[in-house]
Structure 1
Amino acid sequence: MLSFAAMILACSYDDDDQNDDNSQEISQIENNVQSGTWRISSYIDSGDNETSDFNGYNFTFEADGALVATNGTITYNGTWSVRNSSNSNDDSDSDNDIDFNIFFPVPDDNDLEDLNDDWDIVSHNSATLSLMDVSGGDGSPDTLVFQKN
């Protein structure tokens, strides 16, 4: 009977413990980006430096998930979120990373459309958010860095 109880306890291990660890990091990322306005300090698309496409834009990540991009003349409204992506289709089975999701409902020829993705978070602090995505094309990574103003 004792061995049966030990077996039940061993089987009740839940790998959600790793997800619980991510919840603190997700909260930290959310709090960081909601503080102030941000600009893109680097955007590399399949090896091409396209940072200048976003010169003059300021980004505001609002608590309700709204994302506002403005360049002083035009304002675009989108959405953002931070999600645990351990079960998403862009990860291997052993990955337990966090995705930073960006979406702007704009035409394909709008530069902001390039930002629409579920980005992997490379690093983050209160002043910088570094993101990466490998998708389609030639398989080279796209990188996106937000810097706090």
Structure 2
Amino acid sequence: MSREEAVTQVEEERRARETTEANVNRRHEILRQKIEIDFQRHKDDIQRLERELSRLKSSADSTQSNSGSKDPVIQRQGSSALGPYKTKEMAQKPVNLGRRCIFCKKNVVSVVFLPCTHQVLCVSCNEEHEKRAKTCPCCSTRIRERIRVYGASS
């Protein structure tokens, strides 16, 4: 093989690698946008459901105070040692419904870990976590990327 053929082959391989990298970057950006859109959609759903729950609670309170009777749903369910949880496992591991950071417990979560897609840390705790650990605090999966997501309240 001559020197010119070798140079040509190297150039073709370089172009192929650059094309592959560009495709990977494009797919990565699409995934990032999808995560941001899904996050916003879920936040909007949570806010809508919280408003609906508040409306239903106030409606139930006014109905209960007017009739003086207990809620029939509560009467059917009875009291349970597990409280609002359906199973013992759920009572032991409550879901992060408030969407608060699992480290500081104050700030709203705003960082998604890839590839596991857990979203459990705020920006400031993520910065500290990134210095010390390279794995997800929930599942111990190696974090390849951390994506900041923006919602209605972040």
TM above 0.5, yes or no, is: no
TM-score of the pair, normalised by structure 1: 0.35
- Which structure shows the bigger proportion of residues in strand conformation? 1
Which structure is larger by alpha-carbon Rg, 1 or 2? 2
- Which structure shows the bigger proportion of residues in helix conformation? 2
TM-score of the pair, normalised by structure 2: 0.34
